[in-house]
Amino acid sequence: MTTATVTTTPTTTTAIINISSLVTNDTSLGKGPLGLIQDAAVVIDGDRIAWVGETSKAPATDNRVDAGGRSGLPGFVDSHSHLVFAGDRTAEFNARMSGESYRAGGIRTTVAATRAASDADLEAGLVRLVREAVRQGTTTLETKSGYGLTTYDEARALRIAAAQVDEVTYLGAHVLAPEFDGDPEGYVALVTGEMLDACAPYARWIDVFCERGAFDGDQARAVLTAGKARGLQLRVHANQLGHGPGVQLAVELGAASADHCTHLTDADVDALAQGDTVATLLPGAEFSTRAQWPDARRLLDAGVTVALSTDCNPGSSFTSSMPFCIALAVRDMGMTPDQAVWSATAGGAAALRRTDVGRLTPGARADLALLDAPSHVHLAYRPGVPLVSAVWRRGVREL
């Protein structure tokens, strides 16, 4: 394996050659739904992909990196995470693994710690997790607020997030703030009023935890409608812990994604199949709460677009590893390795309504990973093994 050190500047072209098998997610470039190319090369120009094809046909460039027979794929697009927080919920996890069940209310433990943390501590925690994700091949990240639950703390979280990640989501409606116990309508009024005004400038998205123990269908509709009126686009935490109105609401209101989708009726699946809302599955949450797996096979068979994401958060899924989620999806959710890899890259991009990431095609952002393995299938075949051995993000070598 050769790992040349390359310094890339925006005016430099670099060819990565001798990639044994490359996932492009562009069916016009290669074979099958993943657009696979054997013995491939990728040319990076600044922060963009300039050329993709067979190594033997690669154009001349300023620099060359020999992949030495490793495989390649677009950087993972992790479209659902909660990375702005302080504190730790080891004890809760330990208790759950000793027999207690997961409830949405545990979020308040993190809320108290997050409110008490300094800006610098929140930023340092976020940066640490972003670096951790990048080392595992993630090159596009969405993250949310939702551990502040006051106007000041929610806006603060989003301001910190906006400086570090690609996509920022306002999740004031994560759980009821403790100050509003017994007054959910009062809290929804805050989330859709003053808090929304303070948060909208930092966010592209608005999200709501539509679940028993969090927000019901009417409250979720009020939150999403208010966000939409302020120009935010919609995503929904839906049908994680039980059946509920979240998925249908997401489709009805044109949300980009309904996230979790663990407990679905046939009508929910039909709605997803007929709308353009992506179903984002978050198997780290089921793993970490010993819950029933979402049925990816059922969704795929119905023609639903499926994304995979980590849901990285300190309570119910403290993993930043997309390869881990791919392995779970293949082992326990009925996905083929090809489908899981597509969902973790192009699927995540679809869930964020992005066309510039999640694929390796001329003009796309130069985000890719190399694996110490002959093909992407090894992500599921060799679970838990750190196969990601090189990462470029926006054309810059980060690993």
Name the binding residues for Zn(2+): 80, 82, 237, 311
Closer to Zn ion by CB, 67 or 255: give it: 255
Which residues does the annotation place in the binding site for Fe(3+)? 80, 82, 237, 311
CB of 82 to Zn ion, least distance (A): 6
Kindly identify the residues of this chain, within the stretch 53-72, that bind Zn ion according to CB under 5 A: none
Closer to Zn ion by CB, 238 or 368: give it: 238
CB of 157 to Zn ion, least distance (A): 14
Cα separation values, 157 from 153, 190, 319, Å? 6, 17, 20
CB of 46 to Zn ion, least distance (A): 34
Strands 138-144 and 63-66: unpaired
Alpha-carbon 349 to chain mean position: 9
Closer to Zn ion by CB, 143 or 375: give it: 143
CB of 312 to Zn ion, least distance (A): 9
Binding mask 333-352 for Zn ion (x = CB under 5 A): --------------------
CB of 131 to Zn ion, least distance (A): 21
CB of 316 to Zn ion, least distance (A): 8
Closer to Zn ion by CB, 268 or 311: give it: 311
Considering CB under 5 A, how many residues would be counted as binding Zn ion?
1
Closer to Zn ion by CB, 214 or 379: give it: 214
**Which residues are within 8 A (CB) of 64 and not within 5 positions of it... i.e. 6 or more apart?**
4, 14, 15, 16, 17
CB 86 within 8 A of CB 117: yes
CB of 205 to Zn ion, least distance (A): 12
Kindly identify the residues of this chain, within the stretch 130-159, that bind Zn ion according to CB under 5 A: none
Closer to Zn ion by CB, 108 or 382: give it: 108
Strands 306-308 and 278-281: parallel
Cα separation values, 377 from 36, 54, 246, 330, 383, Å? 12, 20, 33, 10, 10
Closer to Zn ion by CB, 285 or 296: give it: 285
Closer to Zn ion by CB, 153 or 311: give it: 311
Binding mask 263-282 for Zn ion (x = CB under 5 A): --------------------
CB 363 within 8 A of CB 311: no
Which residues does the annotation place in the binding site for 4-imidazolone-5-propanoate? 89, 147, 174, 240, 316
Which residues does the annotation place in the binding site? 80, 82, 89, 147, 174, 237, 240, 311, 313, 315-316
Residue whose CB is nearest to Zn ion in the complex, by number: 311
Kindly identify the residues of this chain, within the stretch 303-322, that bind Zn ion according to CB under 5 A: 311
CB of 304 to Zn ion, least distance (A): 19
Sites of contact with Zn ion (CB under 5 A):
311
